[in-house]
Chain A
Amino acid sequence: MKKMTPEELEKFIHQNLRSLPPRRAPRSLELRVLAAIERQATIPWYHKSWSYWPSAVRMAFLAGATGVTGALVTAFYLMCNGANASAVAVQAGERLSLFTKIYHLALWTADFAVQVFGRIPSLWLYGGLALVAALYATFFGLGAFAYRTLYRNNN
Chain B
Amino acid sequence: MTAPPDFTTFMRNYQDMVYSTAVRLIGNETQAEDIAQEVFIKAYERFDNLRTSDTAGGWLKTVATNLSINHIQRYKKRWRFFSDIVHHDDEGAEKEVEFAAPDTFFAGVDSAERREWIEKALEKLPEHQRVPLVLYHFEDLPYEEIAKKTKVSLSKVKTDILRGREALAKILVRSGSPHEQFET
Taking beta carbons and an 8 Å cutoff, which residues of A are in contact with B? 1-4, 6, 8-10, 12-14, 16-26, 28-30, 32-34, 36-38, 40-41, 143-144, 147-148, 152
Number of interface residues of B (CB under 8 A): 46
Say yes or no: B37 contacts A23, CB within 8 Å.
no
Known contacts A17-B137, A144-B81; A29/B1 CB under 8 A: no
8 pairs of A and B residues whose beta carbons are closest in the complex? A25-B19, A41-B1, A25-B15, A22-B16, A1-B98, A22-B20, A23-B20, A33-B40
From B11, B79, B169, give the contact of A12 (CB < 8 A). B169
15 contacts between A and B (CB under 8 A): A2-B98, A8-B102, A13-B137, A13-B169, A17-B137, A21-B115, A24-B16, A25-B18, A26-B19, A30-B11, A32-B33, A33-B41, A34-B3, A37-B3, A148-B82
Shortest CB–CB separation between residue A154 and chain B, in angstroms?
12
Known contacts A25-B19, A30-B11, A144-B82; A9/B24 CB under 8 A: no
- Starting from the known contacts A14-B137, A26-B29, A38-B1, 12 additional A-B residue pairs (CB-CB under 8 Å) come to A1-B98, A1-B99, A2-B98, A12-B169, A13-B137, A18-B138, A21-B115, A25-B33, A29-B15, A32-B37, A33-B3, A37-B1
Say yes or no: A23 contacts B82, CB within 8 Å.
no
Give Cα A9–Cα B170 distance, bound, in whole angstroms: 11
Say yes or no: B33 contacts A4, CB within 8 Å.
no
